[in-house]
Amino acid sequence: MAAVSPEDGMSKLDITGKDVASKTNGASGQNGKHGEIEPGDSDEDEAEDGEEGPANGEGAAKKKKKRKPRKKKKAGAAVAPGQSSPPRVEVSKLFPYNAYPVSEEVEYQNDNAYRTTSEEKRALDRSNSDYLTDYRQGAEIHRQVRTYARANIKPGMSLTEIAEMIENSTRALTGHPGLEEGDNIKGGVAFPTGLSINHCAAHYTPNLGNKTILQQSDVLKVDFGVHLNGYIVDSAFTMAFEPRFDPLLEAVRAATNTGIALAGIDARMSEIGAGIQETMESHEIELNGQLFPIKSIKNLNGHTITPYSIHGGSSGKSVPIVASPNNTDRMEEGETYAIETFGSTGKGYVRDDGEVSHYARNPDAPKNTPLRISSAKGLLRVIDKNFGTLPWCRRYLDRLGQEKYLLGLNCLVQSGVVNDYPPLVDIKGSYTAQWEHTILLRPNVKEVVSRGTDY
């Protein structure tokens, strides 16, 4: 979920570097680049291809049959082994011993290289490892949901259909439907599914009654989060259905991977932002016979993530995506970051525009803020009991059976008890793209927890 530069008054790998060493936890060889099974590969395929193998003894002396080429799976049926289509099986049932995949670990370099072998740092990592189960479970849920979504999102679908596809799958796989009071605070959807199209870069999700239909010529940013016990996995991708947009998507994806490669303990935010901008703006795109430079959107940022706080609260840090020499912040051991970048064919600057859908409780609001509208008090109780400090949208209130709440909601916003987050747009006619991953700066290794074989 995007963070806006605070100076603008709004709160809010493929590893490409040759000197970055990465390793994976998982099977070797056939299990893919980051320790996961590649799409189309499975143990079942191996069994089908090699039934004549030596397992039965006598077969060992027979000449091996020529391996048949694997059949390509249909894109619309992309699911994880043991998972249903659409995804409805709780991920915890697929991993009964909580042995969730470790998608990518990257060793620290240079002055921090000692951390890899330091027994002290390893011990510290082990002593604080309980939270890793929640993060890795959330990441596996994100991968399974997005795999299904990426295979099934098509032009002609409504944005409401797409949002509900993602959110219902997330709720099912976490085992938290979110209808009972307090259930969504235990786990489930971490924030509203962002479905921002074309010049709209972030913070758009359909409200009830929205009739927007995804078009063949659209560029769609899909930004959604999963949480278990407040540990939020925040990851985003962009989809386009015409190859002319490929250069834009590749530029932003490369910029995000640059940010991930540069991130680490003691890393300077200014250097990360400069590196991201250099990668992003080395690309250009031709649209309708005109050449456009691809610009980093300078007032959007990556951000820290803390339990139950998508932007890290009032003490959160921003990760710029442009050169920011005045930013003296550094990353620190134990922090969690969303490394996200946004590229645009427009001005490279966003502003508020359109109907608001995203909201969140203001954790810094005075506890006894007077509310002059009685319905606002009841609505605030619903918000506190069902979302706490997690972001939410109006569809979630509708889902809980809330009616005629807009007057009370406006009162909460005007009183500063709730923050609203309008859609963020560049100039009309421009196109924007986004890619994002969640990283954990563990004492002895950097973990790109949301990494998958897809991105």
Instruction: Give the residue numbers annotated as catalytic, written as ranges.
Output: 223, 234, 303, 311, 340, 436
The owner of tokens 């923050």 is 419
Q: Give dist(CA 64, CA 51) in Å, integer.
A: 10
Run of H or E residues at 168: helix 159-174
Residue with tokens 């596809």: 165
Token pair for 332: 């620190």
Half-sphere exposure of 365 (CA within 13 A, CB side): 19
Cβ proximity of 432 and 15 under 8 Å: no
Residue whose structure tokens are 């370099």: 109
CA distances from 266 to 225, 262, 330, 437, 450 (A): 27, 10, 5, 19, 22
Contact 177, 400 (CB under 8 A): no
* Contacts of residue 409, Cβ cutoff 8 Å, sequence gap at least 6: 359, 376, 379, 394, 397, 418
Eight-state DSSP code of residue 368? T
Length of the chain: 455
Both structure tokens of 154: 């098509």
